[in-house]
């Protein structure tokens, strides 16, 4: 990495925890390759520290990402919000434009790109989303915009899934909630998405046993692991096309890069930098059949 100068811009990741983040690796590799004069650092911060850091760094010519648990709080600090921020209530990328602090939720674009890599197009697909947190929210918005046929939400806390459904589809025509896992038995889906945090910790149960469904076209795990996640392994063993959350991570990082530098990111290099953190031998964009 080149030595910083007074002109070097500071790009940060604000969150807690940030110890396992691949973003510094992905972004610094991209900065170096494109000769952008910037450095990307991960800063662990509390909710109280977030406003001072985000606004201070933006006003000092910097920019950044926001991650768990601050994505919703960051929205209140923006002076201009993208449609994705307004519709998801979460911001994961900020920068300054015309003197105003702007924000986007690039998880929405990242998810859409990961689905395209796995399925081609999501149009007309029947999708099951497991989970109802921030990632599920970005996934739901992205899928509805991609004109899927229907989305079924299934979450440990049914009331959270129900409030997500009400927010995005009060008529219940395209989004429905299934509370009983047993009721999934007669259902077939083109795509099943794990948007729960199950799989992050070793020893976690699988988010869903796919043999309990009548049909599964493909499985997308938003959790990622250095090699492969247990749920991706489970899908692969059943012959189901599947991929983990690494492609979404790389694509949301690429979208952030576009906001900061107004130029195309070196996507393949960012993907290699992310994969280089583990011992993967196959690109995550290819379905593992």
Q: Which two tokens stand for residue 200?
A: 């992050």
Q: Directed axis angle between helix 23-34 and helix 246-261, to 10°?
A: 50
For residues 56 to 75, the per-residue mask of contacts with ligand NDP, x marking binding by CB under 6 A and - elsewhere, is ------------x-------
Which H/E stretch holds residue 55?
helix 50-59
Strand order in the sheet with 188-194: 175-177, 150-154, 126-130, 188-194, 215-221, 241-243
For residue 275, the minimal CB distance to ligand NDP (Å) is: 14
Q: Identify the residue among 66, 118, 198, 220 touching ligand NDP (CB under 6 A).
A: 198
For residue 94, the minimal CB distance to ligand NDP (Å) is: 16
- Among residues 9, 70, 71, 137, the one annotated as catalytic is 71
Annotated active-site residue 71? The verdict is: yes
Report if residue 131 touches ligand NDP, rule: CB under 6 A. yes
Report if residue 197 touches ligand NDP, rule: CB under 6 A. yes
Question: Within positions 80 to 109, which residues make up the interface with ligand NDP, using CB under 6 A?
Answer: 107
Question: Within positions 243 to 272, which residues make up the interface with ligand NDP, using CB under 6 A?
Answer: 245, 248-249, 252
Question: Within positions 136 to 195, which residues make up the interface with ligand NDP, using CB under 6 A?
Answer: 136, 155-157, 160, 195
Report if residue 33 touches ligand NDP, rule: CB under 6 A. no
Report if residue 223 touches ligand NDP, rule: CB under 6 A. yes
For residue 132, the minimal CB distance to ligand NDP (Å) is: 5
Query: Pseudo-torsion of CA 51, 19, 261, 285, nearest 10°?
Result: -130
User: Quick one: DSSP state of residue 284?
Assistant: T
Does residue 78 contact residue 108 with C-beta atoms inside 8 Å? no
Alpha helices (runs of H) in 130-276, residue ranges in sequence order: 134-145, 158-168, 230-237, 246-261, 267-275
Does residue 216 contact residue 210 with C-beta atoms inside 8 Å? yes
Cα–Cα distance measured from residue 63 to residue 40, given in angstroms and rounded to the nearest whole number: 9
Report if residue 200 touches ligand NDP, rule: CB under 6 A. yes
For residue 7, the minimal CB distance to ligand NDP (Å) is: 31
Cα–Cα distance measured from residue 91 to residue 93, given in angstroms and rounded to the nearest whole number: 6
Query: Stretches 8-16, 20-28, 181-189, 242-250: which one binds ligand NDP (CB under 6 A)?
Result: 242-250
Q: Which two tokens stand for residue 64?
A: 């950044």
Count of positions on this chain that bind ligand NDP (CB under 6 A): 25
Which residue numbers are catalytic? 71
By the criterion CB under 6 A, which residues form the site for ligand NDP?
68, 107, 110, 131-136, 155-157, 160, 195-198, 200, 222-224, 245, 248-249, 252
């Amino acid at each position: 990495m080149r030595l910083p100068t007074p002109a070097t811009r500071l790009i940060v990741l604000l969150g807690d925890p940030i110890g396992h983040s691949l973003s510094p690796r992905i972004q610094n590799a991209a900065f170096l390759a494109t000769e952008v004069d910037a450095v990307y650092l991960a800063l662990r911060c509390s909710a109280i520290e977030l406003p001072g850091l985000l606004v201070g760094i933006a006003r000092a010519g910097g920019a950044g990402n926001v991650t768990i648990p601050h994505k919703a709080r960051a929205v209140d600090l923006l002076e201009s919000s993208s449609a994705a921020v307004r519709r998801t209530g979460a911001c994961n990328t900020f920068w300054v434009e015309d003197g105003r602090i702007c924000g986007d939720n690039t998880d929405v674009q990242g998810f859409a790109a990961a689905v395209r890599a796995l399925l081609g197009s999501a149009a007309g697909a029947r999708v099951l989303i497991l989970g109802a947190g921030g990632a599920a929210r970005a996934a739901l918005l992205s899928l509805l915009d991609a004109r899927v046929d229907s989305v079924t939400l299934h979450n440990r806390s049914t009331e959270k899934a129900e409030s997500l459904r009400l927010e995005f589809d009060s008529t219940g025509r395209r989004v429905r909630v299934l509370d009983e896992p047993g009721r999934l038995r007669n259902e077939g889906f083109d795509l099943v998405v794990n948007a729960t945090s199950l799989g992050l910790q070793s020893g976690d149960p699988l988010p869903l046993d796919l043999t309990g469904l009548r049909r599964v076209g493909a499985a997308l795990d938003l959790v990622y692991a250095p090699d492969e996640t247990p749920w991706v392994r489970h899908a692969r063993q059943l012959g189901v096309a599947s991929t983990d959350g690494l492609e979404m991570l790389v694509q949301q990082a690429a979208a952030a890069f576009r906001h900061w530098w107004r130029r195309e990111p070196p996507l393949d290099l960012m993907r290699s930098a992310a994969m280089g953190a583990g011992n993967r031998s196959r690109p995550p964009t290819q379905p593992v059949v």
